[in-house]
Amino acid sequence: MQMKPYRIGTRGSPLALAQASETRARLMAVHGLPEEAFEIVVLSTKGDRVTDRPLSEIGGKGLFTEEIEEQLSDGRLDLAVHSSKDMPTVLPDGLGLVAFLEREDVRDAFIGRTAPRLEDLPRNAVVGSASLRRQALIRRLRPDVSVITFRGQVETRLRKLDEGVVDATLLAHAGLKRLGYTEVITDLLDSESFPPAPGQGAICIEARLDDARTAELLAPINHADTQAALLCERAYLAALDGSCRTPIAGHATISGDRISFFGMILTPDGTVWHESRASGATGDAAALGTEAGTEVRERAGSSFFDSWA
Confidence at residue 165, expressed as pLDDT on a 0 to 100 scale: 93
The rounded radius of gyration (Å) of the Cα atoms in the chain is 19
Same domain assignment for residues 95 and 212 = yes
Same domain assignment for residues 218 and 92 = yes
Q: Band of the pLDDT at 55, cuts 50, 70, 90? A: low
Which CATH number do you get for residue 250? 3.30.160.40
Confidence at residue 25, expressed as pLDDT on a 0 to 100 scale: 98
Q: Band of the pLDDT at 128, cuts 50, 70, 90? A: very high
Under a CB-based contact definition with an 8 Å cutoff, are residues 203 and 82 in contact? yes
Same domain assignment for residues 175 and 230 = no
- Does the annotation mark 86 as catalytic? yes
What digits encode the pLDDT tens for the residues 229-280? Answer: 999 999 999 999 765 568 999 999 999 999 999 999 999 999 999 999 999 9
Confidence at residue 99, expressed as pLDDT on a 0 to 100 scale: 98
Catalytic residue among 78, 86, 187, 211: 86
Same domain assignment for residues 8 and 52 = yes
Confidence at residue 302, expressed as pLDDT on a 0 to 100 scale: 82
Same domain assignment for residues 238 and 248 = yes
Same domain assignment for residues 118 and 245 = no
Ordered DSSP codes for 163-216: TTS-SEEEEEHHHHHHHT-GGG--EE--TTTSPPPTTTT-EEEEEETT-HHHHH
What is the residue range of 25's domain?
1-101+203-222
Asked whether residue 195 is domain-assigned, the answer is no
Question: Shortest CA distance to 199 belongs to which of 61, 87, 282?
Answer: 87
Collect all residues with Cβ–Cβ distance below 8 Å to 85 and sequence separation of at least 6.
172, 197, 198, 199, 200, 202
Same domain assignment for residues 85 and 231 = no
What digits encode the pLDDT tens for the residues 10-52? Answer: 999 999 999 999 999 999 999 999 999 999 999 977 666 665 5
Asked whether residue 308 is domain-assigned, the answer is no
Asked whether residue 122 is domain-assigned, the answer is yes
Confidence at residue 153, expressed as pLDDT on a 0 to 100 scale: 82
Same domain assignment for residues 215 and 231 = no
Asked whether residue 194 is domain-assigned, the answer is no
Asked whether residue 120 is domain-assigned, the answer is yes
Helix (H) or strand (E) holding 281: strand 273-281
- Look at residue 149 and tell me whether its pLDDT is greater than 70: yes
Same domain assignment for residues 88 and 70 = yes
Same domain assignment for residues 288 and 231 = yes
Which CATH number do you get for residue 72? 3.40.190.10
Same domain assignment for residues 38 and 96 = yes
Asked whether residue 309 is domain-assigned, the answer is no
**Domains in the chain, number:** 3
Collect all residues with Cβ–Cβ distance below 8 Å to 145 and sequence separation of at least 6.
121, 123, 124, 125, 126, 127, 138, 139
Same domain assignment for residues 136 and 121 = yes
User: How confident is the model over 209-215, as a mean pLDDT?
Assistant: 97
Asked whether residue 136 is domain-assigned, the answer is yes
Confidence at residue 1, expressed as pLDDT on a 0 to 100 scale: 41
Please provide the average confidence, as pLDDT, over all residues in the chain.
Answer: 92
- Look at residue 289 and tell me whether its pLDDT is greater than 50: yes
